[in-house]
């Protein structure tokens, strides 16, 4: 395979075809969760060239992205050290959340920063909800099986699943996620831009790393 890639390294269309084949869910029918990891590993290299693989509707495509996303020092206080399939036990739910994360990157890459931030907040809410369900018995949820995001953040911090910094800034992300309501945007006044997205991305990285670090060990 390596020799064939070297033969075709000067033919961009051939290299693109190989990358898309490696990220195609149809190659992983017997192991659906592997496609997320394959895309993550491909993107770890592609991002430095300003590209990334995304899976809208389950079909891979290559899009342009901000190369800064490949540098943890610019992207977040720490590198994202987990994957969605490692945090979320239900494979179908993990795939749905990963799709929202991918869509957030697509929106950001195309300048749709409000949409990107809304996707990040929605994704974080889904992750925290799954963590709540998998780490606590039903009796401990006080008959509220689907609490809103601000409660999920507080529950996660109270149980020691996320640190205080992730707790505080997750509430900021929640505020920006509420831009889905137009009156909220008018109340905030400022229009979110690429820098706003990056700050929200920092929050997601910190929260997901905290959740991974505090996950129960088998």
Chain segment 154-184, per-residue pLDDT in tens: 999 999 999 999 999 999 999 989 888 888 7
183-206 pLDDT per residue, tens:
877 777 778 888 888 889 989 989
Output DSSP code: residue 67.
G
Is residue 108 a contact partner of residue 116, using CB atoms and an 8 Å limit? yes
Q: Which of 26, 48, 70 is the last residue of a domain?
A: 70
Q: Which of 70, 96, 120 is the last residue of a domain?
A: 70
Q: Which of 70, 92, 121 is the last residue of a domain?
A: 70
| Alpha-carbon span 108 to 195, nearest angstrom | 10
Q: Which domain holds residue 23?
A: 1-70
Within 17-169, strands assigned E span: 51-54, 61-64
Q: Which two tokens stand for residue 161?
A: 């699943």
Average pLDDT, integer, range 59-83: 61
Q: How many helices (H) and strands (E) does the chain have?
A: 11, 2
- Residue 43, domain CATH: 1.10.10
pLDDT tier, 20 (very low <50, low <70, confident <90, very high otherwise): confident
Give yes or no: residues 109 and 145 share one domain: yes
| Alpha-carbon Rg for the chain in angstroms | 18
Give yes or no: residues 63 and 81 share one domain: no
Regarding pTM above 0.75, the answer is no
> How many domains does the chain contain in total?
2
pLDDT tier, 137 (very low <50, low <70, confident <90, very high otherwise): confident
């Amino acid at each position: 395979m390596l020799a064939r890639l070297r033969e075709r390294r000067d033919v961009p269309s051939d290299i693109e075809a190989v990358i898309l084949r490696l990220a195609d869910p149809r190659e992983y029918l017997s192991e659906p969760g592997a496609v997320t990891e394959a895309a993550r590993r491909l993107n770890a290299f592609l991002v430095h060239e300003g590209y990334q693989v995304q899976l809208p509707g389950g079909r891979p495509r290559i899009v342009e992205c901000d190369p800064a996303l490949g540098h943890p020092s610019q992207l977040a206080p720490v590198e994202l050290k987990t994957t969605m399939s490692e945090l979320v036990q239900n494979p179908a739910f993990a795939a749905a959340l990963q799709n929202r994360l991918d869509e957030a990157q697509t929106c950001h890459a195309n300048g749709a920063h409000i949409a990107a931030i809304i996707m990040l907040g929605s994704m974080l809410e889904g992750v925290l909800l799954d963590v709540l369900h998998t780490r606590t018995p039903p009796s401990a949820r006080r008959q509220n099986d689907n609490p809103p995001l601000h409660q999920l953040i507080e529950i996660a911090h109270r149980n020691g699943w996320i640190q205080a910094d992730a707790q505080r800034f997750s509430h900021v992300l929640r505020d920006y996620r509420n831009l889905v309501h137009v009156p909220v945007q008018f109340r905030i006044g400022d229009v979110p831009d690429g820098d706003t997205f990056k700050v929200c991305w920092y929050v997601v990285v910190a929260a997901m790393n905290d959740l991974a670090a505090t996950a129960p060990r088998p």
